[in-house]
Amino acid sequence: MTISIDRTGHFTDELNIAFTDIHVSIDPDLLGDVLESAGVRISFDGFSDGRFLTIARQLRLRGYKGHICAAGEIVPDQFPMALKVGVDSVEISEALARRCAQEQWVVMGQRIQGNYQSRLTG
């Protein structure tokens, strides 16, 4: 069982989106095949594997407008960066949710607001 976390850091019921599942090891040349999907779920194995950030950013740069979900052992400290590159939600295991409470995710989700980059660009 997994726990879904929305852009605000709140735990939610499973999202009702038809996801196309890809792994971070996907050949970037194949990303065009998922651009018409309603949702793309990027799976990865551990918090040290930051390729999900690159894949999410590449999808957005290629014009993908749908829902991007990062599914794996992401930790709250990685949440702001995931949101910045275009991730809409994350899925974590129940065990990780017990270790990293909803309050941690909410606080980290707020870290993308008011950062110095956004103040510089308006």
What strand order describes the sheet that includes 2-5?
A: 11-12, 2-5, 89-93, 67-71, 39-43, 19-23
Residue-wise pLDDT for 26-53, tens only, equals 999 999 999 999 999 999 988 788 899 9
pLDDT above 90: residue 118: no
The pTM of the full predicted model, rounded to 2 decimals, is 0.89
Domain count, the chain: 1
Residue-wise pLDDT for 57-77, tens only, equals 999 999 999 999 999 999 999
Return the structure tokens found at 1: 């069982």
pLDDT above 60: residue 122: no
The CATH number assigned to the domain holding 45 equals 3.20.20
